[in-house]
Chains A and B, each alone.
Chain A
Amino acid sequence: MSQAHQQELDTTVETPLHRAPAECKVAATIVFVVAVALVPRGDLVWPYAVDAAILLAVAAFARVDPRMLGARLLFELPFVLFVLVLPFVAEDGWWLAFGIVAKATLAVLATGVLAWTTPPAEILRGAERLGLPRQLVAIAGFAIRYLQVIGDELRRMRLARVQRGDTARWLWQSSAATRGFGALAVRTLERGERVHTAMLARGYGGRMPALQLAPSASPLAWMVAAILPAAAIAVLVVARL
């Protein structure tokens, strides 16, 4: 898949975790997050601490840029504010809120490590090998390939608007912004049509060629990838006892 549209993930770091098969990493992330999510509610701190330590060890091994994880946590912030309502509407609300924030944070960090070690196209390939339906893979493939293009287009339109003196702050000032958004919608869908025409011109016959050039993961890779979720499951079992 084209790498040109994935500038933000260009990185000079490469660790064994980056080279590991994508399906192992996707499966390990999902099982880890599920294991964390199943930690029972109540006044428990240590399961989250142990899971966080394991995850941070993996992150250190992959030499994850802390700034990148920090940016992801900022993304989570609005939800944390929402959780702070809970202590006022539920009994035992503080522990409830703590559990939710801990689980959400660990999930955000885990997918952060996945995104750091695996380009989006590879994540998609891993999900396909794990049995994601073909139509969803096709839609997601187009989406991931053109995300950067459309994001850049939106940025250019916003810049052009600001340069012409449009500095809308409030909803009722947003007519130029929404009109631009409408133009972007039209351009995006027309781009979809052109993409399809281009595919036909290159001999597309109703089926995407197989994405899977790399051989599927070896049993050894699966075993190594199982370490992280296995540790989380062990923590979960002990916490549930």
Chain B
Amino acid sequence: MHIPEGFLTGEAAAVGAVTAALGVGICLRGARRHARERDLPIAGLAAAFFVVGEAPFIPVTIGTNAHLLGGALAVALLGPYLGALTITTVCLIQALVFGSGGITTLGATITVLALVPAFVGYPALLALRKPLPLPVAGGITAGLCVLLSAAVFVAFMTLGADSGIDRGTFAGVTFGAYAVVALIEGVITALLLRALLSLRPDLVRARRRPVPA
């Protein structure tokens, strides 16, 4: 979902940039307040892990590649602020070093991949983990995040596109493909969370938060 150059109109790219700047600003401030200083190397290593994890492109359907988006996993491991900053960094590295995803579209990419999990996924995760075991809650959150990200992606793609893109068809194609991605993402996130909880539960930040009564 790293949006390539040229996919967005100027308006959509500008809206994405402003949204991303605001959201990342909030996350920077929040991380300064809440994150422990020893979390920074862990966040960096997690970012490297996500870059590596994104490398195997498994084609699902035309134009859609299944790989770990990782947003929900990142916020579950590192909390909403540092998790979002980690995914933001991944997007930056992908765009500037590996040429995956455009530079003018970076704002929209960050909004879709980092801010949706942080500001929607994390509250959803905290709500879901009350009735459900954490890996299941994380998996459902990851699936939800992917679908919501796809919705935001469709909104960005059609924003300001006056050349008469058929929104219905486009949304249908996108959602059809991302339903599969959401399923895979949910399963992988749940499995990874289960592995982490069984070996090093203290590394999962969402677990440190007391379950809201």
Question: Which residues on A are within 8 Å of B, measured CB to CB?
Answer: 26, 29-30, 33-34, 36-38, 41, 72, 75-76, 78-79, 81-86, 88-92, 96, 99-104, 106-108, 111-112, 114-115, 120, 123, 127, 132-133, 135-136, 138-147, 149-151, 154, 171, 178-179, 181-186, 188-193, 195-196, 199, 206
Contacts and interface: CB of A to CB of B under 8 A. Distances in A.
A146 B48 contact: yes
A90 B89 contact: no
Contacts of A149: 48
A135 B28 contact: yes
A188 B46 contact: yes
Secondary structure class of chain B's binding surface, majority of residues = helix
Interface residues of B, number: 68
A99 B6 contact: yes
Residue among B5, B62, B170 with most chain A CB within 10 A: B5
Given A141-B44, A186-B195, 20 more contacts: A33-B5, A34-B104, A72-B99, A82-B62, A83-B63, A91-B164, A100-B4, A103-B102, A104-B4, A111-B95, A123-B97, A135-B31, A139-B40, A140-B47, A143-B51, A146-B44, A147-B51, A182-B191, A189-B45, A192-B41
B100 interface: yes
A76 B4 contact: yes
B7 interface: yes
Nearest to A71: B99
A87 B14 CA distance: 25
Contact of A107 (B5, B40, B48): B5
B7 to A, nearest CB: 6
Interface string B182-213: 00100010011011100110010000000000
